[in-house]
Amino acid sequence: MQYPEAIAQLIESYMKLPGIGSKSATRLAFYTIDMDEEDVKDFSDRLIAAKKDLHYCSICGNITDEDPCEICRDTARDQSKILVVEQPKDIMAMEKMNDYQGLYHVLHGVLSPMDGKGPEELNIAPLIKRLQKTDVNEVIIATNASPEGESTAMYLARLIKPAGIKVTRLAHGLSVGSDIEYADEMTLQRAVEGRQEM
Which DSSP string do the residues of 103-129 spell out, in sequence order?
EEEE-SS--BGGGTB-GGGTTTHHHHH
Which value, to the nearest 10 degrees, does the dihedral of the CA atoms of residues 165, 138, 152, 55 take?
-120
Predicted confidence (pLDDT) per residue in 59-114, tens digit: 999 999 999 999 999 999 999 999 999 999 999 999 998 889 999 999 999 999 88
Say what the pLDDT of residue 104 is.
98
pLDDT score of 196 more than 90: no
Predicted confidence (pLDDT) per residue in 73-86, tens digit: 999 999 999 999 99
Contact 85, 105 (CB under 8 A): yes
pLDDT score of 160 more than 80: yes
Say what the pLDDT of residue 184 is.
75
Domains of the chain by range and CATH? 5-53 (1.10.8.420), 76-197 (3.40.1360.10)
pLDDT score of 193 more than 80: no
Say what the pLDDT of residue 172 is.
65
CA distance 159 to 153: 10
